[in-house]
């Protein structure tokens, strides 16, 4: 089996953006999360993922590496003062029996798995696969000289190589002080021939604040709506857990897991929007591995499932129907837990509580019901 490693470059300073561009949410996901999604959907098995980081990006990348949708090692290394130095540090960290290495800028977060696969296949067949597009515009030098756009290739990433060849090329570049501006130039200067792979005009680089509206529009996708509803009986000798928060009360919810009725309704809403069944299909109540499990763990697993399919959570709106206890003091912690499980911002999570005015089973402390609407970006 071909051992394919990925290097994701995220060690920049975001000077032209004015803020950490890799922490921005583009269509509900950060650029690094979007790159992880595209890599995870590649047809080629991923042997490792190395992310280069700076002081600006390290903390966020540490968290993302722990929750990345891969079964292989995912880790970060400190980048350098130049792009070349960052790539070299990452190359040195890879297993020496790596066959192919894919080098990609995290800021090119609209990359597709199809282009990644074309780049890898080219590297297997030819030694390299340099993604780019032909120039579409009329281009002139500042002197006014007109260039033939039919001869111009706009280089992008990924740039993919046989590992031993690009590593040796970077050894030489390091000795010269990392003077080249991209991996292809390093490769060619070492005497290799670059093979060009036609990419996609959508594979743009997020650089300035003025780029953000384009990226948001490109990631808008199709909006899907799901509805979830769940009811659990109240009983004695049970903890009352809602949204992963234990709430002091004389009664608790009865169920196979921790019976967190709020999380169960959210899971059903998410699965419904994605047409992926329901909570009972994914986590059967006759399976002992889910006995007394925290429902927050189940929500994290649902998030991983959705992410693996390139689906992001747009927003959640849930209403808890309970006569008591009063839930207002706990709502912020509940929202925070849900946002953390879904790797999204708390501003996208709405949780409300209402009383049924002593009517119905909820009003007589027989049960608690939750109704939830979720929207997803596909």
Q: What is the pLDDT of residues 199-242, one digit of tens each?
A: 999 999 999 999 998 888 888 777 899 999 999 999 999 999 99
pLDDT in tens, 68-109: 889 999 999 999 999 999 999 999 999 999 999 999 999 999
What is the model's pLDDT at position 283? 95
Among 279, 281, 286, which Cα is nearest to 264's?
A: 279
What is the model's pLDDT at position 18? 87
- Strands (E) across 183-311 are located at 196-198, 223-235, 240-242, 245-247, 252-253
Residues 6+ apart with CB under 8 A from 105: 9, 157, 205
CA distance 65 to 351: 29
What is the model's pLDDT at position 319? 98
Residue 212's alpha-carbon distances to 137, 175, 189, 282, 343, in angstroms, are 22, 38, 35, 36, 20
What is the model's pLDDT at position 157? 97
CA distance 335 to 347: 9
Q: In the chain, pLDDT over 70 holds for what percent of residues?
A: 100
Residues 6+ apart with CB under 8 A from 249: 240, 324, 325
What is the model's pLDDT at position 47? 97
Q: Which two tokens stand for residue 245?
A: 């928060």
What is the model's pLDDT at position 378? 74
CA distance 219 to 234: 43
Q: Does this model's pTM top 0.85?
A: no
Burial class (CB in 10 A: 0-12, 13-18, 19+), 300: middle
Helix axes 83-93, 163-175, angle to 10 degrees: 130
What is the model's pLDDT at position 301? 95
Distance of CA 318 to the CA centre of its chain: 24
CA distance 135 to 201: 10
CA distance 155 to 130: 7
Residues 6+ apart with CB under 8 A from 59: none
CA distance 355 to 69: 40
Q: Which two tokens stand for residue 121?
A: 């296949």
The ranges of the chain with pLDDT < 70 are: none
The CB density around residue 309, as the number of other CB atoms within 10 Å, is 14
- Residue by residue, DSSP assigns 186-207 as HHHHTTPPP-EEE--TT-----
């Amino acid at each position: 089996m071909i051992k394919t490693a990925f290097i994701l470059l995220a060690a920049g300073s975001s000077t032209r953006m004015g803020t950490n561009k890799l922490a921005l949410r583009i269509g509900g996901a950060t650029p690094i999360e979007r790159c992880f999604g595209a890599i995870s959907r590649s047809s080629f098995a991923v042997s490792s993922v190395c992310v280069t980081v700076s002081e600006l990006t390290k903390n966020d990348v540490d968290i993302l590496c722990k929750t990345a949708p891969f079964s292989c090692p995912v880790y970060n290394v400190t980048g350098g003062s130049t792009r070349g130095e960052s790539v070299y540090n990452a190359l040195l960290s890879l297993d020496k029996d790596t066959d192919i290495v894919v080098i990609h800028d995290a800021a090119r977060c609209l990359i597709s798995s199809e282009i990644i696969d074309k780049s890898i296949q080219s590297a297997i067949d030819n030694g390299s696969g340099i993604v780019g597009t032909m120039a579409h515009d009329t281009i002139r030098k500042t002197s006014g000289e007109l260039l033939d756009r039919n001869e111009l290739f706009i280089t992008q990433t990924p740039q993919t190589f046989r590992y031993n060849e690009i590593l040796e090329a970077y050894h030489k570049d390091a000795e010269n002080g990392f003077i080249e501006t991209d991996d292809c130039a390093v490769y060619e200067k070492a005497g290799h021939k670059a093979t060009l792979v036609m990419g996609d005009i959508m594979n743009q680089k997020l650089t300035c604040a003025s780029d953000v509206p384009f990226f948001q529009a490109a990631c808008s996708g199709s909006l899907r709506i799901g509805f979830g509803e769940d009811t659990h009986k109240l009983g004695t000798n049970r903890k009352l857990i809602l949204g992963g928060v234990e709430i002091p009360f004389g009664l608790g919810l009865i169920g196979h897991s921790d019976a967190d009725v709020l999380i169960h309704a959210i899971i059903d809403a998410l699965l419904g929007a994605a047409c992926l069944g329901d909570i009972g299909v994914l986590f059967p109540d006759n399976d002992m591995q889910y006995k007394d499990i925290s429902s927050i763990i189940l929500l994290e697993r649902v998030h991983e499932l959705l992410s693996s399919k390139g689906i992001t959570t747009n927003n959640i709106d849930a209403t808890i129907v309970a006569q008591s206890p009063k839930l207002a003091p706990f709502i912020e912690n509940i929202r925070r837990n849900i946002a953390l499980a879904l790797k999204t911002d708390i501003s996208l999570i709405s949780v409300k509580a209402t009383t049924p005015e002593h009517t119905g089973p909820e009003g007589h402390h027989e049960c608690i019901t939750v109704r939830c609407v979720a929207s997803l970006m596909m």
